[in-house]
Every structure is written in structure tokens, then in C-alpha cells.
Amino acid sequence: MMDPRIENLNVSAEQSIITPIELKELYPLSEKHIETVNKGQTTIKNILNGSDKRILAIVGPCSIHDIKSAKEYAQKLKVLADDLKEDLFIVMRIYFEKPRTTVGWKGLINDPYLDNSCKIQDGLKQARGLLVYIAELGLPAAGEALDIVTPQYIQDLFSWTAIGARTTESQSHRNMSSGLSSVVGFKNGTDGNIDIAINAMQAVASPHNFVSINPEGKVAVIRTLGNPNTHIILRGGKKPNFEAEHIAAIEKKLSDLQIVPRIMVDCSHANSSKKAQKQEIVLASLAGQIAGGNKSIMGFMVESNLMFGKQSIPDDQSELKYGVSVTDECLDFESTERILREFCRKIK
């Protein structure tokens, strides 16, 4: 007999979860938290428009997989951020959602226990709890908005947002970005395509109307005003794209479109062939370009953790090494501090 079902053939379960407003009630914001985000968002807008001459530094783990080590990292980074604040505005990279080339662990929100149990509600709670802790330290946070619903739960705690190389061309991500309050950086495509990021910046500056959820968790039409605070992030493609010749080519492309060139360089990913130590070479090149008079480079990103390297997620969680990335290779904290200090010395 023919199966009479015509929908949900590939759905195994559906589970209601906490609403955005309920999660926010569990982790309410104090004046201090609001001040951290407000200052973070405003300073980054000022760096983008050139009224704050410092360089924006997005620094932190490739992904957050362990709240304890993320807190320890944040404490260390806050000390460094205060020390280098004359030259750098340091924002901690807090990536809870990982885009995968095929399959793999999709980040703390999706699978907080790293065992494929995918307890997403717990992941949202852990994520918001960590963001509140970091805001309490007075350290601004930077994240990738990958899922287009989860921003309702946590986006109020981010001072800067990235759209990743795999989603820069996606209309849903552009719609969402047009309503975000923070500056949004668009990565070039994984193949090195720059145009998709420039198209994204132009699309996001306009108002959009789309279906999402509201704070009560109800399906809603969201109408945005458009977000004029965007920039490109060069992350390399088939080849790196951080050298002066690449920067000059992007500057020309943006200027021809009457867009003031403001460029962030991701020292990791295809700019360092995913070899963490190569980030130092990229950062040194950026420092040289800035010291040589470049005015368009407004920021950089470095992937860094407590310890160097990366590890696969073991079946037995007791074998997880503390402070080591479970996604891309990261620099250890001491090397990170050294290359950031060197960068500041060179650009003075």
C-alpha cells in the first residue's frame, strides 16, 4: 500500500524550546552589561567611520566548546585589552555556531555536550550565560550569526558580528544583517570571491521584510531599517588576499562604487592555510602596510586559545585537552600576546 504521508518524511522529531524572552529573563542584563555592549558597538562604529583611529582586533578561539576555559581566556584577554587600548580595540571572538564544509560538530549552541545529543536549549543557556559573564568583565564580544533564529536569544550581547564565507551570498543572512544593531563584517567567499561581500554590504544597507520569530517566539514579519555599518573581511580563498596588492585592488573596487574602503583582514583561514602560526606573518604584513601609510585597514581577526593547536573530539570526554580548539588550529595565549604587542610596536 502507498504511504499516505506527503510531508515530514525526513523529520524524526520536533521539540518546543524556551522563547527568547524567557531566556533573557533567566539571564537579565545589568547596567554594566548594557554599558559594555553599548560602548563596544559605538567604538566599533567609530573605528569603521574613521573617527576612532585605533585598529579593531577580533581575537579568540575558533569556537567555544568549554565554558570554563572560555572564561579563563576572557580574563586574560581583558588584561591585554586594557594594556593595548591606546592602539587596539580588542574584542573577544565568541563563536558559538560553526559552519561546516560537509559535516562535523556545529558548535556549542547546537551540541553543548559534544556528543551529538544536540541539546540546543541547554546550548542557548550556556551561550547566554557566558556572554553575560564576559560583558560583566567589560570585554566586548564578537560572533558569527550563522543560524538566523538564534540572534533573538543572544544578539543583544554582541558588539560586532560576522557573516561567514559560506553564507555571505545568502539572502536570509543579508535580511537578518539589515536589522542587526552592531557593525557587520562580510567574509569573501571560500573561493576568494570578493564581489559577494560587496554585494552583501550594498544589500544590507537597504530595508528588508522577512519572516522570522519575535521575542515571544511567535512567527512574525520583521521589517528592518537597513544597516549602513558594514565592511568586508578578507579571509583568503584559493590564495591568500592580505598583501598590499590585494588590499589596493579592493580599495579600488570599493572606491569605484563610492564605498569608503574599510577593510578587515582575517589572519586565519585561507590567509594562513589554517596553520595557526602563519597568522603571525599575516599580522606582520598588516602592521607593515599600516606603518607605511595604509588607511583602509581598520581591523584584523586572530584565532587564539589558551593552548596551541587543535584536537578531535574524543569519544571519551575525559580525554579532551583543556584550552585546545576542537575546530581550527589556534595560537596559544602567550604567542597571541607577543604578536599583538609586536603589531602595536610596529604601527606606532
Ligand X SMILES: O=C[C@H](O)[C@H](O)COP(=O)(O)O
Ligand Y SMILES: C=C(OP(=O)(O)O)C(=O)O
CB of 62 to ligand X, least distance (A): 5
Specify whether the CB–CB gap between 124 and 105 falls below 8 A.
Answer: no
CA distance 269 to 311: 17
User: Which residue, among 202, 300, 199, 286, has the nearest Cα to 247 in the 3D structure?
Assistant: 286
Specify whether the CB–CB gap between 64 and 306 falls below 8 A.
Answer: no
Question: Would you give the binding string for ligand Y spanning residues 59-88, x where CB under 6 A is met?
Answer: ---x--------------------------
**Residue 165 interaction partner, one of ligand Y, ligand X, none, beta carbon < 5-8 Å per kind:** ligand Y
Is residue 165 near ligand Y by the rule CB under 6 A?
Answer: yes
| Closer by beta carbon to ligand X, 116 or else 318 | 116
CB of 251 to ligand Y, least distance (A): 21
Largest CA distance in the chain: 77
CB of 268 to ligand Y, least distance (A): 7
Is residue 239 near ligand X by the rule CB under 6 A?
Answer: no
Q: Which of 187, 231, 246, 310 binds ligand Y (CB under 6 A)?
A: 187
Is residue 235 near ligand Y by the rule CB under 6 A?
Answer: yes
Is residue 99 near ligand Y by the rule CB under 6 A?
Answer: yes
Cα-to-chain-centroid distance, residue 66: 17
Element (H, E) at 322: none
Element (H, E) at 209: strand 209-213
Specify whether the CB–CB gap between 92 and 139 falls below 8 A.
Answer: yes
| Closer by beta carbon to ligand X, 39 or else 278 | 278
Question: Would you give the binding string for ligand X spanning residues 59-78, x where CB under 6 A is met?
Answer: ---x----------------
| Cβ-proximal residue to ligand Y, closest one | 164
The three cell numbers of residue 58 are 577580533
| Closer by beta carbon to ligand X, 164 or else 261 | 164
Strands 141-144 and 88-93: parallel
Q: Which stretch binds ligand Y (CB under 6 A): 6-14, 31-39, 66-74, 159-167?
A: 159-167
Q: Which of 45, 65, 93, 98 binds ligand X (CB under 6 A)?
A: 98
CA distance 137 to 170: 34
User: Which residue, among 111, 70, 105, 127, has the nearest Cα to 333 in the 3D structure?
Assistant: 70
Q: How many CB atoms lie within 10 A of CB 40?
A: 24
Element (H, E) at 118: none
Q: Which stretch binds ligand Y (CB under 6 A): 66-74, 148-156, 158-166, 221-229?
A: 158-166
CB of 98 to ligand X, least distance (A): 4
CB of 116 to ligand X, least distance (A): 16
CB of 100 to ligand X, least distance (A): 4
- Between the alpha carbon of residue 148 and those of residues 22, 145, 246, the distances in Å are 18, 7, 31
Is residue 100 near ligand X by the rule CB under 6 A?
Answer: yes
| Closer by beta carbon to ligand Y, 22 or else 191 | 191
CA distance 147 to 332: 29
Is residue 269 near ligand Y by the rule CB under 6 A?
Answer: yes
Q: Which residue has the cell 558594514?
A: 230
Which residues lie near ligand Y (CB under 6 A)?
A: 62, 95, 99, 144, 164-166, 187, 235, 269
Which residues lie near ligand X (CB under 6 A)?
A: 62, 98-101, 104, 269, 327-328
